[in-house]
Amino acid sequence: MGKTVFEKSSSGRRAFTLPPNDCPLEGLKQLITRKGPVGLPEIGEQDLVRHYIELAGKNYHIDKGMYPLGSCTMKYNPLINEELAGLGGFTGLHPDQDVGDVQGALELMHGLERALSEICGMGAFTLQPAAGAHGEFTGMLIARDYFLGRGEKRKVIVVPDSAHGTNPASVAICGFTPKTIQSNELGLIDPAILEKEVDGETAVLMLTLPNTLGLFEREIAEVVRIVHDAGALVYMDGANMNALLGIVRPGDIGIDIMHVNLHKTFSTPHGGGGPGSGPVGVNAELADFLPIPRVIKEDTGYILSCDSDKTVGRIHSYFGNFNVLVKAYAYIQTLGARGLKQVAMDSILNANYLMNRLEGTYSLKYPGPCMHEFVLSARNLKKNGVRTSDVAKRLLDYGLHAPTVYFPLIVEEALMIEPVETESRETLDAFAEVMERIAQEAKESPELLTEAPRHTPVRRLDEAAASRNPDLQWRPEEK
Which residues bind to ligand PLP, rule: CB under 6 A? 71, 131-133, 164, 166, 208, 237, 239-240, 261, 276, 278
Is residue 408 reached through a cis peptide bond, with omega within 30 degrees of 0 on the bond before it? yes
Nearer to ligand PLP, 125 or 147 (CB): 125
**At closest approach, how far in Å is the CB of 167 from ligand PLP?**
7
**At closest approach, how far in Å is the CB of 390 from ligand PLP?**
25
Rg (CA), the chain: 26
**At closest approach, how far in Å is the CB of 261 from ligand PLP?**
5
The rounded distance, in Å, linking the Cα atoms of 74 and 264 is 7
Nearer to ligand PLP, 169 or 306 (CB): 169
**At closest approach, how far in Å is the CB of 272 from ligand PLP?**
12
**For residue 2, what is the DSSP state?**
P
The rounded distance, in Å, linking the Cα atoms of 435 and 65 is 15
Beta-bridge mates of residue 450:
none
Contacts of 313 (CB under 8 A, 6+ apart): 291, 292
Nearer to ligand PLP, 350 or 361 (CB): 350
SS3 133: helix
**At closest approach, how far in Å is the CB of 364 from ligand PLP?**
20
- b (16+ CB within 10 A) / e for 220-245: bebbbebbeebebbbbbbbbbbbbbb
Nearer to ligand PLP, 188 or 239 (CB): 239
Nearer to ligand PLP, 237 or 346 (CB): 237
Distances from the Cα of 383 to the Cα of 182, 387, 443, 449, angstroms: 28, 9, 9, 14
**At closest approach, how far in Å is the CB of 165 from ligand PLP?**
8
Strand 404-405: give its sheet, edge to edge.
374-377, 414-417, 404-405
The rounded distance, in Å, linking the Cα atoms of 322 and 87 is 13
**At closest approach, how far in Å is the CB of 295 from ligand PLP?**
22
The rounded distance, in Å, linking the Cα atoms of 389 and 449 is 9
Nearer to ligand PLP, 243 or 442 (CB): 243
**At closest approach, how far in Å is the CB of 136 from ligand PLP?**
7
Nearer to ligand PLP, 49 or 409 (CB): 409
**At closest approach, how far in Å is the CB of 63 from ligand PLP?**
21
Nearer to ligand PLP, 268 or 422 (CB): 268
Nearer to ligand PLP, 254 or 408 (CB): 408
The rounded distance, in Å, linking the Cα atoms of 360 and 427 is 20
Which H/E stretch holds residue 416? strand 414-417
The rounded distance, in Å, linking the Cα atoms of 234 and 225 is 10
The rounded distance, in Å, linking the Cα atoms of 36 and 437 is 56
Which H/E stretch holds residue 82? helix 79-85
**At closest approach, how far in Å is the CB of 276 from ligand PLP?**
5
Nearer to ligand PLP, 164 or 394 (CB): 164
Q: Which residue is nearest to ligand PLP (CB)?
A: 132
DSSP H helical ranges for 185-314:
191-197, 220-229, 262-265
